[in-house]
Structure 1
C-alpha cells in the first residue's frame, strides 16, 4: 500500500477516535495555546466614532455597520441622532431595516442613546425632556437595544437662585420616572458620566443610590472623569456599569493622556463585568483608520488579560 495512503488512514482513524493528532514531520512543533478574549466580554463600536462621516453624509448608517462587521466587532451602539428626523422618532420601517442589516452582518445592537437635560430650571422643559427619554425607550425596545444611554444634564454651573441639592432633586425625580417606564419596556436606563452636571464618581453614585431602581445602571465613560485620579474613580463606579465607553485618552491632573488599557482591562475584569465593551474614538482623523487601530489595541489588552 502507498505510504501516503497509510499515513492518511492513520490520521483519519485517530481523528475519529478523538485522539490528538500530531504531525509526524521532524519539523513539527507542539501546538501552542493561543491567547483568547476573557470569557463573556465582547467588543462593540459606539458609532459616535463615525460622527463626522455620518453627519456629513459621507457614510450611511448601513455602510458603517458593514465596516464594523468586517473589522470584527461583535456589536454596534448607534445613538438616536443618527436616525432620520431626530429627536422625532424614525419610521419603524427604517428602524427594522437597520435592525435586519445588523442581524445579517452578525452584529448585535449593544445599546443606543439620546441627548437630554434634566437640569433645566423650567418644570415644563424638564417634563418635555422626560417625554423625550420615554419616547426613545420605546424605540430602544423595538430596535432590540438592551440599554438606552441618558445624561443628567448640561449644567456645569448652577443658574442664579438655585442650589446643587435642588438640581439633584430634579435629576433624581426625572430619572426615577424614566427608569420606572424603562422597566415596563424591558430596557435598562444607563446614566453616562459626561463631565457636565456629573463630574465625579461620587456624583454618579449619589444619583444611583437615590433613584434605587433595578432598571438604572451606569454607562461608564472612562474619558469624562476630569477631576482627581480617573482610574480610581472608574474603579469605584465599575461595579455599577452595564455598558462602557472606552476611549483613546483620559484626563490625569487636568492633562489629556493616552489611556493605560492594561489598567482599564484590569478594572473591568476585577469588577466582574460581563457584556459589551463599546469603544469610541474622538478627535480629528478618518475613523476608518482610527477605529481599527484602537480596536486592535483594546483587543490586545483584553487578550493579554484573558
Structure 2
C-alpha cells in the first residue's frame, strides 16, 4: 500500500535537481499586452488636520477609506499615539486587524527624519529613530518605510560632504531594513533633494535593492517635473500622487493622464497612493480626487 510518505519520496525522485541560483530580482516590465497591476492607496496625510486636531481617529479614517473603495492605506508614523515613541504592540495589531477586516492593505508608512545634520550624535539619533520604526513597519505589515534625506543645504555647507553623510545613514538604515524585510523608500521633498539627479546619486551610492524611491510628484520645483518623474519612475516602489505640481516653480493642476502614462510606461506594478493637500475637508476632497485618478487610469487602460 502506498503511504503518503512513500508517495512524496516517489514524486520528489522524479523532480529535476535545482542547482542554479534564483532568477534575477529585476522586476518585470509591463507592456501593452500585459499592463502593470495598479492598486490605489490613500496616503493619510490627506487627513492630517482632522487626525492631528482630534476631529477624526485613525480608526475612523480607515473606515472612511474602505467605504471609498481604496485598496490600501499609507498611515504615516506620527498618526500613531505618542510619536516618536513607538506605540504599544497591542494597538499596532488592533489597527492592523481592523485594516484587514475592512479589506485594506497597508501599502507603507513613514517617519520624519533628517540625515543632513552635521553633528554625529544627532545624526545617530535620527538613524536610531528610523531603525525603531523599521521594526514597527515589520510588525505592522508595511512593506516600505518612507524617509527623507534632510533639510535644504544651507550657506557654507559642502554638498558632496552632506551627500556622503546622507548616503552613509541611508546605507545603515537600508541594511537594517533588509534584515527585517522592510524596504526604505527615499522621498524627494524639495529639501536637500531637489532633482531626480539628486535621488539617483544617492541610490547609486547606497547600491542596495532595499533602497527604493517614494516618488512625490508635487515636490519638484525646478524645471519640468514630468521629465524628472519619468526618470525616477522605474525606481519607484511607491508614490505620492497629488492634485498639483510645480512647472518651473509655478503651481499648476496635475495632468493626471500624463502621470498615468508615465506610470504605465515605466512598468510600475503596485500601489499608487494619492494625497490631497491644502484647505478643505478631506472627506470632500479625497473622494473627488480619487474619482479623477480612477478616470485617468481607465483612460490609460
Same fold per superposition (TM over 0.5) = yes
Tell me the TM-score normalised to structure 1 length. 0.86
| Secondary structure in structure 2 of the residue aligned to 1:157 | coil
**Equivalent-residue separation in structure 1 for 2:299 and 2:158 (angstroms):** 47
Which blocks of at least 5 consecutive residues in structure 1 are unaligned? 1-37
**Equivalent-residue separation in structure 2 for 1:153 and 1:159 (angstroms):** 15
User: Matches of residues 16-31 of structure 1 in structure 2 within 5 Å?
Assistant: none
The answer to whether the aligner puts 1:192 opposite 2:187 as a matched pair is yes
**Equivalent-residue separation in structure 2 for 1:159 and 1:150 (angstroms):** 24
The answer to whether the aligner puts 1:158 opposite 2:149 as a matched pair is no
| Structure 1 counterpart of 2:40, from 39, 43, 46 | 43
Residue of structure 2 in register with 1:267 after alignment:
262
Which blocks of at least 5 consecutive residues in structure 2 are unaligned? 1-34
Tell me the TM-score normalised to structure 2 length. 0.88
**Equivalent-residue separation in structure 2 for 1:227 and 1:236 (angstroms):** 14
- Is this contact kept in 1: 2:153–2:159, CA < 8 A? no
Cα RMSD, aligned residues only: 0.8
The answer to whether the aligner puts 1:208 opposite 2:208 as a matched pair is no
Q: Give how far 1:182 is off.
A: 0.2
- Is this contact kept in 1: 2:41–2:71, CA < 8 A? yes
The answer to whether the aligner puts 1:101 opposite 2:98 as a matched pair is yes
**Equivalent-residue separation in structure 2 for 1:253 and 1:176 (angstroms):** 32
Residue of structure 2 in register with 1:225 after alignment:
220
The answer to whether the aligner puts 1:69 opposite 2:66 as a matched pair is yes
- Is this contact kept in 2: 1:158–1:164, CA < 8 A? no
Residue of structure 2 in register with 1:114 after alignment:
111
- Is this contact kept in 2: 1:179–1:213, CA < 8 A? yes
Residue of structure 2 in register with 1:303 after alignment:
298
- Is this contact kept in 1: 2:187–2:215, CA < 8 A? yes
| Structure 1 counterpart of 2:140, from 139, 143, 153 | 143
Q: Give how far 1:243 is off.
A: 0.2
The structure with the largest alpha-carbon Rg is: 1
User: Matches of residues 176-187 of structure 1 in structure 2 within 5 Å?
Assistant: 176-187=171-182
**Equivalent-residue separation in structure 2 for 1:164 and 1:88 (angstroms):** 32
| Secondary structure in structure 2 of the residue aligned to 1:224 | coil
- Is this contact kept in 2: 1:149–1:192, CA < 8 A? yes
| Secondary structure in structure 1 of the residue aligned to 2:60 | helix
| Structure 2 counterpart of 1:126, from 123, 137, 143 | 123
Q: Which deviations, in whole Å up to 9, do the C-alpha atoms of 1:86-142 show, x marking residues without a partner?
A: 001000010001000000000000000000000011000000000000000000000
Q: Give how far 1:214 is off.
A: 1.0
Residue of structure 2 in register with 1:55 after alignment:
52
Aligned pairs, how many? 267
**Equivalent-residue separation in structure 2 for 1:84 and 1:65 (angstroms):** 16
Structure 1 runs of 4+ off > 2 angstroms? 157-160
- Is this contact kept in 2: 1:172–1:207, CA < 8 A? yes
**Equivalent-residue separation in structure 2 for 1:124 and 1:270 (angstroms):** 43
| Secondary structure in structure 1 of the residue aligned to 2:218 | helix
